[in-house]
Amino acid sequence: MSKRIVLLCCYIIVLFVSSSTAVDLLTNNNKLKLSLNGDGEFKFGQVVRGTGVEAAGTVKDVWTECAHGGLSLQAVYDEKLKLVVGIAADLKFSWPIEKQFSQTKTAQPLVYLGEAYASYTLDYDWGGFDVCAGNFKYKYNPDVRNLGEYLYRSGTYPAYIITEFDYPKANLLGIRAGTTQFKKSLSWDIILSTETVFYPAMDWSLSSLLSYDIADLGLVTLGAGISFAHLFSVYPDNSPAGSLTSPRAEATKYKDGDSISYYTFKGTKEMVRISIDPLAFIRKNNQWFGENDLKIYSELLIIGSESYPDTTASGKYNPSYSNWKEKSPITFGFNLPTFRLIDILNVEFEYWGTKYYNDYRQIYVIDGNPLAPALNENVTESKWKWSVYMKKSFFNEHCAITAQFARDHMRLFDVLYDHANHREMLVEPGNWWWAGKLSFAF
């Protein structure tokens, strides 16, 4: 009996290692394919030096952990219609630990909806068309590992960015329609999405993104995108303070010549990017270089094209954004050659010339008004960010080890949201952290 169990376990392991796809489920319909997908990961890291919570000053050697698991069921009918529904859970540890709050002393479980969408695809020799509706993941810049991919990871006013370790993509709730042309060298997406991350929630944003592989050679790829953030508000304008998208609160007044105007959350974000692959002509049949080696790329984002003047309408100085450069992070990165020893070794940099911190406490905790954060003369902020990322996969990409060293836009989780670090932690030149991840997927 024990030998049979050992043989069965060995058989399961061989199936797991030899297959790069999901677990296929049997059906009585030849046109219907069912599969089960799953993933799990354990993240850990340490803020070697950071800025602390709000005015708490410098912090050192802060340890962080997180566990994640997810399952999803996928159904494909007639190779065109795809239905996906999933569930995911995280186990997070809170920081800082506070003696008077028991929630901060133990791991906090979070269960939430994973991808849940329906998509329909038509493929032709010259290209194709597809439409997707529901809750789905979206990534428009395949090269970015940490710094960049900000079109859907930024708030328009005040300008701020939210990032997460090894997750340079967005979760969108809405509808996406896309097409590919010229043998799929040109792709175009139009997305109508409702806000789930950036306040005011449930507002609708309209976006359009283009990507073009010049001459279909893989040598140079250009991309561009525009997003009309908070374009349609679900909140009525006749509320006491106006709609949440266009508030009429006294604190949001500013003088525009002789007239009075108001700050709003609305904004038009524009993105351009370029990717260059110097090994495009030899990569396919080359045994020395991996699929990512030596690629270089850059991205520029304007987080709201409209500039707001500094104002004294409330009787005192209120900081604002006087030109578009203060809302325009530019990122660039490249992949070092690894000669297939590891999957990728990536280095990225970012310059953002804003004079205001990447801070959203004003919006989510204080009063919900779209005002820039106050300046702190005791903090010397660095305008530069950097990141070093590496990954190695095993067992036909079912398992992986990932590591990162960076001064990026990270924040630590706090179960007490009002006490959380709403300002990014790595502000000053000497701030940095490292993070690692063990993961599997089937």
pLDDT tens-digit series, residues 316-370: 555 577 778 888 999 999 999 998 899 999 999 999 988 888 888 888 888 788 8
Interval 274-291 mean pLDDT: 85
Query: Predicted confidence band at 277 (pLDDT cuts at 50, 70, 90)?
Result: very high
Query: Which of 31-40, 122-131, 361-370 reaches the highest mean pLDDT?
Result: 31-40
Task: Determine if residue 415 is left, alpha or beta; phi over 0 gives left, psi from -120 to 50 gives alpha, anything else beta.
Answer: alpha
Q: Quickly count: other Cβ atoms within 10 Å of residue 372's Cβ.
A: 23
Q: Quickly count: other Cβ atoms within 10 Å of residue 56's Cβ.
A: 11
Can you read off the two tokens belonging to residue 416? 């007490």
Angle, alpha carbons 199-165-400 (nearest 5°): 140
Give the list of residues 6+ apart from residue 222 with CB closer than 8 angstroms, or none.
211, 212, 214, 272, 273, 274
Interval 185-205 mean pLDDT: 94
Query: Predicted confidence band at 286 (pLDDT cuts at 50, 70, 90)?
Result: confident
Amino acid at 91: L
Q: pLDDT tens digit string along 50-99?
A: 987 655 578 899 999 999 999 999 999 999 999 999 999 999 999 888 88
Give the list of residues 6+ apart from residue 272 with CB closer than 8 angstroms, or none.
222, 223, 224, 299, 300
The helix/strand/coil state of 180 is strand
Rounded CA-CA distance 196/189 in Å is 20
The helix/strand/coil state of 326 is helix
Q: pLDDT tens digit string along 367-411?
A: 788 888 877 777 788 999 999 999 999 999 999 999 999 999 999
Angle, alpha carbons 332-338-343 (nearest 5°): 80
Domain ranges of the chain: 2-441
16 has a pLDDT exceeding 50: no
Angle, alpha carbons 412-416-418 (nearest 5°): 90
The number of CA neighbours under 13 Å toward the Cβ of 179 is 4
Candidates 407, 369, 393; CA nearest to 246 is: 369
Measured CA to CA in angstroms, residue 154 lies from 150, 207, 349, 355, 401 at distances of: 6, 14, 17, 17, 28
Rounded CA-CA distance 369/314 in Å is 14
Rounded CA-CA distance 203/266 in Å is 10
Q: pLDDT tens digit string along 220-248?
A: 999 999 999 999 988 876 665 567 777 77
Tell me the sheet residues that pair with 32: 77
Candidates 407, 405, 402; CA nearest to 386 is: 407
Pick one of 2.20.28, 3.30.110, 2.50.20, 2.40.160 as the CATH number of 2-441. 2.40.160
9 has a pLDDT exceeding 50: no
Residue 29, pLDDT score: 73
Rounded CA-CA distance 374/287 in Å is 54
Amino acid at 48: V
